[in-house]
Amino acid sequence: MIQLKRIYDQPSENDGVRILVDRLWPRGLSKQKAKLDLWLKEVAPSDDLRKWYSHDPNKWEEFKERYFKQLDEKKEYVNQIIKIAENSDVTLLYSANNEKFNNAVALNEYIEHIRSYQE
């Protein structure tokens, strides 16, 4: 199972493998407090895409389209998440304030799409 969580939220035993999927380290958070198992910045949107999107919900659909194209070029990292999720729970961590429109939500949608074709 893959779940999503803000990295600033309290870690829990139900998180399973905690994977940060942001390119930048979250402000004001120590690595010890984050309790990460893996930081996969390679699956984060490019700096240009991140800056263009700027968490504007009006750009969400176009953001996902552009981001999915980037992810198509990074299948090895996406597959790494899928493989981990086959054996344990996974929590994709993000630092964005918006819980509905962020790269972790889009990444999870992309992963679900890939997994549906693998079944």
- Taking only the tens place, the pLDDT of each residue in 75-94 is 999 999 999 999 999 999 99
Question: Whats the size of the chain, residue-wise?
Answer: 119
Q: What does residue 90 show for φ and ψ, rounded to 5 degrees?
A: -130, 140
Tell me which of 7-16, 49-58, 95-104, 110-119 is least confident: 110-119
Helix (H, G, I), strand (E, B) or coil at 66: helix
Q: How far apart are CA 38 and CA 47, in angstroms?
A: 20
Q: Token pair of 52, please?
A: 């263009």
Query: Quick check: 118 pLDDT over 70?
Result: no
Q: How far apart are the first and last CA of the chain?
A: 15
Number of domains in the chain: 1
Which element (helix H / strand E) includes 57? none
Check residue 119 and give its pLDDT. 58
pLDDT at 110: 96
Arithmetic mean of pLDDT, 69-75: 96
Q: Which domain holds residue 110?
A: 2-118
